[in-house]
Chain A
């Protein structure tokens, strides 16, 4: 840039200053308005939207799908799409290093690359077109970031094709076209470049729309993480009921294991005793649950060691044990397992039966346990599964489930016990048996609405 141009620029700036404003108070006023507006926006976001909390980090849970902060999503998606390109896509560092690196280098050195002294947008069609295309790609890639790049099955996967075209082919060709035009046609290329940018942008938006329309529906995210102490204790108790009750009993007091194949008669220290609770720290307890105690017959439960529990889940179990049994801890008020029933009210599967089953039955009545194939994980399983099934029938007080939880074993033709009383070691409390009775007698409604519809007529009081 020669001295003359510099002088012209300086003079022009002086003239602009003449008809301009004062930094204080004119410019500062606008700055303050915008900053204050952003501050209010943040207050509103923090108050009414809050911060979503995923579960605690668990290095053993490799099935977790990583998702970066939203402003890196476009890069993430770009990498995924780039990986689809045959041959070139296998050279990972082109997409991870060379392309982003080149983009950053161009951005940094921009003042030295675009050396013309012109500032008006009409004289800068190429740079503005490139930037516009870049921003449209960023936005569209961000929008389709959560849609799988491949379907994993054979056949035409429309969302995959559409996103490859909209996210990679169109912008790639458009960038190429812009540069070819800029360097071959020089000044005459203006119109062509503008049209290329507009058409490419519209195409990208259209293909993004197609991708979103044809995207496979993704399952809803897992349930909310328990954050408050009572919620964590409840979560811990549910997990304890599933994984630990068989050997340790529902109050942790078992000292000789009964009725567990392979561990029959095994002696253990009651885990609700002071001997255990006072001498073992939280982290040691977590490790025992995670590693198990192979010498004493306890399986590892941590995911890292072949079990089923994540770190967070083990944490909840330990929290539950502390607050439930350790006399140095005071149990906070915890929500009841199910809402109490009024006279004549009919319980539903969703609200009442599911949490009860989860706490008292699932421990054995799930796949891989000895249970005559009677699984109780879902509404349908409770109604229909089992070798002796159906184990419950609407309105039948002689249903196997009702008899066994009321202390009546089922006998076969020879008078031998076919199904013992349930749960095997300890009878359910009367009010829980009452819930089951009311539910079966009223016709086993699944949802709360169905139950409410049945509740209008008061039922005869069941005999426990």
Chain B
């Protein structure tokens, strides 16, 4: 019965090929530092899952954002856990992605033939920081509000384009409901979509070239 089901699926999905091409691959002798890439992926998925749950109750408006989060923390069953994981997961993800970058730098894994993997990796690092920046405003508390005021001001200090960037980020001269809506949209749609797409390319490149080996004196 199971055999039959497997054969039926295999004929259509190519499970055997997938196993041979994706999983049953040779790798250079592994190192624990090499797990940080997959750990980043895991954290991304975890942030996605908890983030999706949070949008069930979260309301991106200055009048309700703070109260909706208080509600999630105090009244929703396990809301505190989901929020807690999302909150700490954000910090941990920045940390893990950064250490992953340092590891790749130290072992010089970005050299031929993995230059493109690095390029996309830097993009992923910046997008992760972008997620942190946009997500920080969403609880709409004092710290978030003023940190974002200053953060957008810094972005506004770019010569010539500053004014435009500032208005584009804030949706006007000051932080307002529009800013919150914008950051929310960026945080749950634009940046995750970009992240997911780039992660796909990053993974494809890793499978194509294989994990790099730990350099010895020959390299």
Residues of A participating in the B interface, judged by any CB pair closer than 8 Å: 1, 5-6, 9, 12-13, 16-24, 26-28, 30-31, 33-35, 38-39, 41-43, 45-47, 49-51, 53-59, 61, 64-72, 76, 79, 92-93, 96-97, 104, 107-108, 110-112, 114, 117-122, 124, 127-128, 131, 135, 227-228, 283
Contact = CB atoms under 8 A, between A and B. Distances in A.
A28 B30 CA distance: 10
Given A35-B42, A42-B89, A107-B122, A58 B111 contact: no
22 contacts: A17-B27, A17-B210, A20-B26, A21-B28, A23-B25, A30-B35, A34-B39, A35-B42, A46-B88, A54-B142, A56-B140, A58-B142, A66-B146, A66-B147, A66-B150, A69-B147, A71-B98, A97-B158, A117-B112, A119-B219, A120-B218, A227-B73
B63 interface: yes
A21 B30 contact: yes
B38 interface: yes
Contacts of B96: 38
A442 B95 CA distance: 57
Given A13-B210, A72-B133, A108-B119, A57 B141 contact: yes
Contact of A93 (B24, B115, B143, B159): B159
Contacts of B66: 56-57
Contacts of B147: 66-69
Contacts of B211: 27
B105 A131 contact: yes
B126 interface: yes
Interface in B163-177: 174-175
A70 B133 CA distance: 11
A54 B70 CA distance: 11
Interface of B: 19, 22-30, 32, 34-36, 38-39, 42-43, 46, 62-63, 66, 69-70, 73-74, 80-81, 83-85, 87-92, 94-96, 98, 102, 105-115, 118-119, 122, 126, 129, 132-133, 136, 139-147, 149-151, 154-155, 157-159, 162, 174-175, 210-213, 215-219
Contacts of B87: 46, 51
Given A79-B154, A92-B157, A57 B140 contact: yes
Nearest to A101: B158
B84 A227 contact: no
Nearest to A116: B111
Contacts of B112: 1, 5-6, 9, 111, 117
Contacts of B218: 12, 120
A80 to B, nearest CB: 11
A69 B39 CA distance: 21
A420 B141 CA distance: 44
A93 B162 CA distance: 10
Given A39-B46, A66-B146, A68-B136, A50 B80 contact: yes
Given A42-B89, A58-B142, A112-B115, A127 B107 contact: no
Contacts of B115: 111-112
Nearest to B95: A71
Contacts of A50: 80, 84
Contact of A71 (B28, B46, B84, B94): B94
B132 A69 contact: yes
B143 A22 contact: no
